[in-house]
């Protein structure tokens, strides 16, 4: 099995072509993080790009929120590896003529996210740019980092948190309205699930992925990397009232709306059959984050999404669609 196995989608077709061109110089590209030897453990590295007009609009967020959000999205990759945070590097492209205060506020948000995660800002770079660009590199450490590989038939699929709130905020802004407070908070100030990611690794998680492109999209990467199939019951998804209302306004079933939404920065983990409701409740109580079983790992390939006992075909966010 290729170590660069990815799910379907135009963006990931491009990544596959890049990996093919790089050949043996990029043997392990395709997971959330690069993993480097570090004594008895591993240094875990990932990078994430946030671009004005693609990932955020300055009319929606303060610059401090833009910085926090960019850093939190990158830190979520460390959560998927079950890693502790060392620090972040931030490279920022700023439009010519932009107020210095905007850049300072943006970096204040990056620093706040790093501190909240237990890390520091290690450095970065600045450049002029046609629009705001924030490129965050994160470094962490884990004894045995989790990847998307390792899920086995019979494992349960567990989801952290409540999906769809970020999409609820986005759809409100696109209608020219203000999002509900819970939805806006989820979009502007996401909380990477670092503590719960480590706890899930300790509980025996075999594979894990963070949901940056939506459950419907990112589940496919875990299935492809592990060479298994995933059965996911959308009706088991925990739904916030703001998500239900946003879905109703769009005329979409709420579980479908939540599954297609990106940038939730929740975790999808494959855990062995012995991990059950009692263990999940204990982790939820310890971390303050809900943990819900939404499906199972089975023999085969791909992802089957079920809604009201019917299989549905959904896609996550694709940057190049």
Kindly report, residue by residue over 171-199, the tens digit of the pLDDT.
999 999 999 999 999 999 999 999 999 99
**Nearest one of 226, 196, 152 to 2, comparing CA atoms:** 226
Q: Are 73 and 190 in contact (CB under 8 A)?
A: yes
What per-residue confidence (pLDDT) applies to 165? 98
What per-residue confidence (pLDDT) applies to 320? 46
- Topology of the domain comprising 156-312: Phosphoribosyl-aminoimidazole Synthetase; Chain A, domain 2 (3.90.650)
What per-residue confidence (pLDDT) applies to 2? 45
- The full set of domain ranges for the chain reads 31-142, 156-312
**Nearest one of 149, 98, 86 to 123, comparing CA atoms:** 86
Name the pTM for this structure: 0.88
Residue numbers in the chain where pLDDT is lower than 70: 1-4, 11, 18, 22, 25-29, 36-38, 316-321
What per-residue confidence (pLDDT) applies to 100? 83
Calculate the average pLDDT of the chain.
91
Q: Does domain 31-142 have CATH number 3.30.1330.10?
A: yes
DSSP 61: S
Which residues, in sequence order, are bridge partners of residue 92?
A: 126, 134
């Amino acid at each position: 099995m290729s170590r660069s196995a990815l799910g379907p989608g135009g963006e990931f077709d491009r990544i596959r072509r890049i990996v093919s061109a790089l050949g043996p110089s990029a043997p392990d590209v395709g997971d959330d993080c690069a993993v480097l030897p570090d004594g008895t453990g591993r240094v875990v590295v990932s990078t994430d790009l946030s671009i004005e007009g693609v990932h955020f609009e300055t009319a929606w967020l303060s610059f401090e929120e833009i910085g926090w959000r960019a850093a939190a999205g990158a830190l979520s990759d460390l959560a998927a590896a079950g890693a502790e945070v060392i620090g972040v590097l931030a490279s920022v492209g700023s439009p010519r003529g932009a107020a210095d205060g905007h850049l300072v506020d943006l970096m204040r948000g990056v620093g706040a996210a790093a501190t909240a995660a237990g890390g520091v800002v290690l450095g970065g770079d600045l450049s002029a740019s046609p629009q705001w660009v924030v490129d965050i590199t994160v470094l962490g450490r884990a004894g045995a980092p989790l990847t998307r590989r390792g899920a086995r038939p019979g494992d349960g699929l567990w989801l952290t948190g409540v999906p769809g709130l970020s999409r609820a905020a986005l759809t409100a802004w696109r209608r020219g309205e203000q999002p509900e407070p819970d939805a806006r908070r989820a979009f502007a100030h996401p909380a990477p699930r670092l503590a719960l990611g480590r706890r899930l690794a300790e509980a025996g998680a075999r594979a894990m992925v963070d949901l940056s492109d939506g459950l419907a999209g990112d589940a496919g990467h875990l299935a492809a990397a592990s060479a298994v199939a995933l059965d996911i019951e959308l009706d088991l998804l925990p739904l916030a009232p703001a998500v239900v209302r946003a879905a109703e306004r769009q005329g979409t079933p709420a579980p479908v709306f939540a599954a297609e939404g990106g940038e939730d920065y929740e975790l999808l983990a494959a855990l062995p059959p012995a991990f059950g409701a009692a263990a999940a409740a204990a982790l939820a109580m310890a971390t303050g984050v809900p943990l819900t079983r939404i499906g199972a790992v089975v023999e085969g390939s791909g992802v089957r999404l079920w809604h009201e006992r019917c299989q549905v075909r959904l896609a996550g966010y694709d940057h190049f669609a």
